[in-house]
Amino acid sequence: MKDSPIGIFDSGVGGTSIWKEIQKLLSNEDTLYLADSKNAPYGEKSREEIVRLSQKNTEFLLQRGCKLIVVACNTATTNAITDLRENYNVPFIGIEPAIKPAALNSKSKTVGVLATKGTLASSLFHSTSENHAYGIQVMEQEGTGLVELIEKGELESEKTRGLLKKYLDPMLTKGIDYLVLGCSHYPYLIPLLKELLPQQVRIIDSGEAVARQTKSILLEHNLLNPEIGRAKHQFYSNTDETILKDLLYNVNAEIEVSYLDF
Ligand code: DGL
């Protein structure tokens, strides 16, 4: 079991932002990544549909012997992780918008959260927000259309810039000093976000925290791979895998990216 891969899934290519953090911290762990791009965006689907797809992805990864599953998607985590934990007997790591550090450090007491409709509508997001952002104004903004653009590789196009500007302006008017990226696709927009945001607005995403949590859960379950060898990383996409390859082009690891009809 210790030398089995870590399974990771997302509605598409965005979860590779999480995979990169995991690979950095746990460089001798094999991984298996599933990009369900055919069904992206999850954020516009019903909770039932998100649960169904998350179960399908989990079963795919379990059939291939994964020892732990990282749900590298805020929308799937906030809507489906409770069901997954009830139904499958492996540890699950989820990702949620990092409201806590933003709320703790905000001086203007106003923070922005950019996430999908499905994440912002979920009860898990609301309880996290209520628990950690007491006395803080949380400006919630749906990032409608952004996941589709990132899936097409449009990280800096005029269309992406225009949409981001439209979403950021109301938050900036309210005086946010933190912007929480509540979708694993959005870290790929950081270069553009840095251009559009004033310098004093800090950007927070959850990738590093997810990697640290993955390590600590592997340790707790005695599942860390003790072998120091060159780890293997297999990526599957159920659409054209070009964008997935592009996002991984400068990674220093043994990776294989393939199309798979699932
Ligand atoms: N990466 C997913 C997330 O973190 C995108 C969701 C979607 O497909 O709408 O929420």
Whether residue 156 lies inside any domain: the answer is yes
Distance (Å) from CA 181 to ligand 1 centroid: 11
- Residue 51 amino acid letter: V
Name the pairing type of β-strands 6-10 and 31-35.
parallel
Q: 36-39: which pairs have CB atoms within 8 A and are 24 or more residues apart?
A: 36/9, 36/10, 36/11, 36/12, 36/238, 36/262, 37/11, 37/12, 37/13, 37/151, 37/237, 37/238, 37/239, 37/244, 38/238, 38/239, 39/11, 39/238
215 vs 22: CA distance, rounded Å: 8
Q: Is 133's C-beta closer than 6 angstroms to any atom of ligand 1?
A: no
pLDDT range class, residue 152, cuts 50, 70, 90: very high
Q: Is 119's C-beta closer than 6 angstroms to any atom of ligand 1?
A: yes
The overall average pLDDT reported for the chain is 96
Q: What per-residue string of b and e applies to 88-106 under the rule 16 or more CB within 10 Å gives b?
A: eebbbbbbbbbbbbbbeeb
Whether residue 1 lies inside any domain: the answer is no
Q: 212 and 85 in one domain?
A: yes
Q: 240 and 174 in one domain?
A: no
* The two three-digit tokens of residue 239, written as one number: 């659409």
Which of 164, 181, 205 is where one domain is finished? 205
Q: 215 and 88 in one domain?
A: yes
Q: 42 and 64 in one domain?
A: yes
Distance (Å) from CA 29 to ligand 1 centroid: 25
Quick one: which H or E segment has residue 206? Answer: none
Contact 43, 119 (CB under 8 A): yes
Q: In this structure, what CATH number is given to the domain that contains residue 122?
A: 3.40.50.1860
Q: Show which residues are catalytic.
A: 73, 183
The per-residue DSSP string of 214-254 comes to: HHHHHHHTT------S--EEEEEESS--HHHHHHTTT--SE
Query: What distances in angstroms separate CA 49 from CA 39, 45, 52, one per listed residue?
Result: 10, 6, 5
Whether residue 123 lies inside any domain: the answer is yes
In three state form, how does the secondary structure of 120-167 look?
HHCHHHHHHHHHHCCCCEEEEEECCCHHHHHHCCCCCCHHHHHHHHHH
Q: 164 and 112 in one domain?
A: yes
pLDDT in tens, 30-73: 999 999 999 999 999 999 999 999 999 999 999 999 999 999 99
* The two three-digit tokens of residue 61, written as one number: 């990864």
Q: 139 and 220 in one domain?
A: no
Whether residue 15 lies inside any domain: the answer is yes
250 vs 253: CA distance, rounded Å: 9
In this prediction, residues 212-222 reach a mean pLDDT of: 98
139-153, 184-198, 224-238: which range is least confident on average?
224-238
Distance (Å) from CA 152 to ligand 1 centroid: 14
Whether residue 109 lies inside any domain: the answer is yes
pLDDT range class, residue 166, cuts 50, 70, 90: very high
In this prediction, residues 184-203 reach a mean pLDDT of: 98
Distance (Å) from CA 143 to ligand 1 centroid: 10
Which of 187, 205, 223 is where one domain is finished? 205
Q: 150 and 85 in one domain?
A: no
Q: Is 41's C-beta closer than 6 angstroms to any atom of ligand 1?
A: yes
Out of 37, 71, 75, 151, mutate this one to test ligand 1's pocket (max ligand atoms within 8 Å of CB): namely 75
Q: 153 and 83 in one domain?
A: no
Q: 158 and 111 in one domain?
A: yes
Name the domain count of the chain.
2
Cα 60 off chain centre by: 19
Whether residue 145 lies inside any domain: the answer is yes
Q: Which atom of ligand 1 is nearest to the CA of 15?
A: 1
Question: Does 229 have pLDDT greater than 90?
Answer: no
Q: 115 and 179 in one domain?
A: yes
Q: 142 and 67 in one domain?
A: no
Q: 201 and 105 in one domain?
A: yes
User: What domain range is 135 assigned to?
Assistant: 99-205
